């Protein structure tokens, strides 16, 4: 059988060293009651807002023990513990557009659980953003400079760069193979480097969800330099080799039941052209003025395939800005807008990055793709791109509820007690 692939001469399966590692089994002992009380209290706080139609707070504790034995001699046993708190609220703009806000905390050590103060702060931000978005005007199509905050940039890199750097995509004729023939070429500005480091457990004080000891094909976790000073060097590799990349670098991952393919772990963007976030904002305003634009965009949150696993189908590669402000060159306050959709291939925006911030921010999530849902992290400083084209997002057509929320109804209905 002849299979037509770009990398047609690469073998089907790579040879790897067998490994033996028997780690301790892990288990969790969670006291349910306090957490039940906490999630009750966290959702109750959202009742104060008439704009919040629905709220869901989820606490998850998971202990996973992995066992792997292969005919090549690999024998592995290791465990992982993860805790997660997710906050989700829904609202509706007067024209029927659905507005969601989401925030998540992830931790490994029970002592690192967020305290009530941290959760309340996140809730206050979510509520303020949701109320603002419900009232915000729809953004008109524009082209101009844009600043992405660290978390938004992290999601952006995960979706538009990280997925394209997954090794198996270079083999598959149905894929875009964006990077197949670009190894050794400049694909990003030379001040940017990107690694995928699954050995890294923490960045600063934050746990990274995409770390592990061995991947799902028994290959040890590694630090892989994908982009070095703007030049494409490597791919995230599973045991499905490419010509020039005969070995796995420990990125063969899957959800139980799926076949492993190359997936991201901890995608970390580093910059050698970092300025303070205040300076970055000043540069944005300079660019707006230089391009003669009435405003630029500040993108504070982006929804991607791994930002929220609770709803709908995960969409790898897709990016949808959720919290976007217009930034004016004349010093007026920023204006929240909604319905922003990025036009064309978002990859183009990466080549137009002009500068970055100096503070790396982390986004943890669960990424859905061919081999199921796997925990990942992405980390990036804020980025300033000189050109981003946006259009109006399609809005849902169902109208807002006919009656006001029961707790915020000023009319007294007969028959009610």
Interface residues toward another protein, by CB under 8 A: 40, 43, 47, 53-54, 90, 92, 98, 396-399, 401-403, 405-407, 409, 411, 413-417
Question: Does residue 69 contact residue 75 with C-beta atoms inside 8 Å?
Answer: yes
- For residue 317, the minimal CB distance to another protein (Å) is 24
Rounded CA-CA distance 168/308 in Å is 25
The residue (of 298 and 303) whose beta carbon lies closer to another protein is 303
- For residue 311, the minimal CB distance to another protein (Å) is 11
Provide the token pair at 106: 């992830």
The residue (of 1 and 407) whose beta carbon lies closer to another protein is 407
Rounded CA-CA distance 178/158 in Å is 15
- For residue 406, the minimal CB distance to another protein (Å) is 4
Question: Which letter, b or e, does each residue of 112-148 get, where b requires 16 or more Cβ atoms within 10 Å of its Cβ?
Answer: eebeeeebeebbebbbebbbbbbebeebeebebbbbb
**Of the candidates 282, 277, 288, the residue with the CA atom closest to the CA atom of residue 143:** 288
**Of the candidates 288, 274, 292, 340, the residue with the CA atom closest to the CA atom of residue 136:** 340
- For residue 219, the minimal CB distance to another protein (Å) is 29
Rounded CA-CA distance 312/389 in Å is 26
The residue (of 17 and 409) whose beta carbon lies closer to another protein is 409
118: Cα separation from own chain's centroid: 21
The residue (of 94 and 331) whose beta carbon lies closer to another protein is 94
The residue (of 49 and 262) whose beta carbon lies closer to another protein is 49
Residues present in the chain in total: 417
- For residue 55, the minimal CB distance to another protein (Å) is 9
Cα torsion at 190, 192, 196, 200 (round to 10°)?
130
The residue (of 39 and 347) whose beta carbon lies closer to another protein is 39
- For residue 98, the minimal CB distance to another protein (Å) is 6
Rounded CA-CA distance 393/339 in Å is 5
- For residue 206, the minimal CB distance to another protein (Å) is 31
The residue (of 244 and 405) whose beta carbon lies closer to another protein is 405
Cβ neighbours of residue 417 closer than 8 Å, sequence gap 6 or more: none
């Amino acid at each position: 059988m002849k299979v037509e692939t770009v990398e047609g001469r690469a073998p089907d399966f790579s040879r790897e060293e067998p490994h033996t590692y028997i780690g301790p089994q892990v288990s969790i002992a969670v006291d349910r009651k306090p957490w039940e009380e906490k999630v009750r209290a966290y959702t109750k706080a959202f009742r104060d807002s008439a704009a919040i139609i629905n709220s869901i707070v989820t606490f998850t504790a998971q202990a996973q023990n992995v066992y792997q034995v292969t005919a090549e001699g690999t024998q592995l046993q290791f465990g992982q513990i993860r805790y997660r708190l997710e906050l989700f609220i829904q609202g509706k703009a007067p024209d029927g557009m659905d507005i969601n806000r989401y925030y998540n905390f992830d931790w490994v050590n029970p002592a690192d659980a967020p305290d009530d103060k941290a959760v309340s702060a996140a809730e206050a931000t979510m509520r303020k953003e949701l109320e603002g978005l419900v009232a915000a005007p729809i953004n008109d199509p524009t082209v101009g400079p844009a600043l992405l905050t660290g978390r938004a940039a992290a999601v952006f890199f995960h979706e538009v760069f990280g997925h394209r750097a997954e090794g198996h995509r270079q083999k598959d004729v149905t894929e875009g193979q964006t990077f197949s023939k670009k190894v050794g070429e400049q694909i990003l500005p030379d001040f940017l480097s990107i690694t995928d480091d699954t050995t890294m457990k923490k960045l600063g004080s934050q746990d990274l969800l995409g770390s592990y000891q061995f991947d799902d094909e028994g290959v040890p976790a590694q630090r892989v330099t994908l982009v070095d000073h703007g030049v494409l060097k490597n791919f995230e590799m599973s045991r499905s080799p490419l010509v020039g990349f005969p070995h796995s670098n420990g990125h063969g991952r899957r959800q139980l039941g799926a076949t492993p393919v190359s997936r991201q772990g901890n995608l970390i963007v580093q910059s050698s052209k970092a300025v303070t976030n205040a300076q970055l904002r000043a540069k944005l305003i300079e660019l707006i003025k230089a391009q003669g634009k009435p405003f630029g965009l500040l993108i504070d949150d982006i929804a991607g395939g791994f930002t929220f696993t609770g709803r709908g189908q995960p969409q790898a590669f897709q990016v949808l800005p959720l919290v976007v402000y217009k930034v004016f060159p004349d010093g007026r306050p920023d204006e929240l807008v909604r319905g922003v959709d990025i036009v064309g291939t978002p990859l183009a925006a990466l080549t137009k990055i002009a500068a970055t911030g100096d503070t790396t921010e982390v986004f943890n999530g669960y990424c859905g793709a061919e081999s199921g849902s796997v925990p990942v992290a992405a980390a990036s400083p804020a980025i300033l791109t000189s050109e981003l084209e946006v259009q109006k997002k399609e809005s849902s057509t169902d109208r807002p509820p006919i009656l006001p929320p029961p707790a915020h109804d000023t009319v007294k209905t007969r028959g009610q007690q």
